[in-house]
Amino acid sequence: MNQLQNFSKGFIKENPVFTLFLGLCPTLGVTTSAFNGLGMGLATTFVLLMSNIVVSLVKSFIPDKVRIPSFIVIIASFVTIVELTMQAYLPSLFDQLGLFIPLIVVNCLVLGRAEAFASKNNFLSSAIDGLGMGLGFAFALTLLGGVREVLGSGSIFGLKFIQGDGMIIFVLAPGAFIALGYLIVLIKKLQKA
């Protein structure tokens, strides 16, 4: 039961975007569509899961003085894997996400989970935490991207269902802040209910 709670807290109680407000740079920057949000969310989930696993396995071998730099090197290794894989197999998504893929290295969500959780817990708990927080992040980015895409261009995952354009502000930078603000209010109300 405890492992299930670790997994689900990334979706509900400690959602990285809607509750903890972590990783807002890629959240606001890439969520012009549901597909971009999903792609960035899954890339971050992979990095978070794998870095949590490796940190939990090597934590006893890393001296305290170089703990954070070591975690960054571990995270950067997995970001490089994601970046090269995406560039080779999903070039259109890679072109859309651009600079935000390498910035996963400095995403406070990934480093924060490595420091706060994986470095203090076992392999299984760290993997479950990484997967839960990562999928919660992916859910938030996909939801925000979906809302912006529906309102901004009248489509979802690129499938047009409204003739003409939507409210263009939602595909622009201010629309990210507006949509995120309303989603946070809605989720806070649902959490209280």
Tell me: the pLDDT tens digits for 17-55? 998 888 888 889 999 999 999 999 999 999 999 999 999
Range of the domain at 84: 2-192
- The answer, yes or no, to whether residue 133 has pLDDT greater than 70, is yes
- Give the DSSP per-residue string, the chain: -HHHHHHHTTTTTT-TTTTS--SHHHHHHHTTSHHHHHHHHHHHHHHHHHHHHHHHHHGGGS-GGGHHHHHHHHHHHHHHHHHHHHHHH-HHHHHHHGGGTGGGGG-HHHHHHHHHTGGGS-HHHHHHHHHHHHHHHHHHHHHHHHHHHHHHHSEETTEE-SSS---GGGGSHHHHHHHHHHHHHHHHHHHH-
Count of domains in the chain?
1
- The answer, yes or no, to whether residue 4 has pLDDT greater than 80, is no
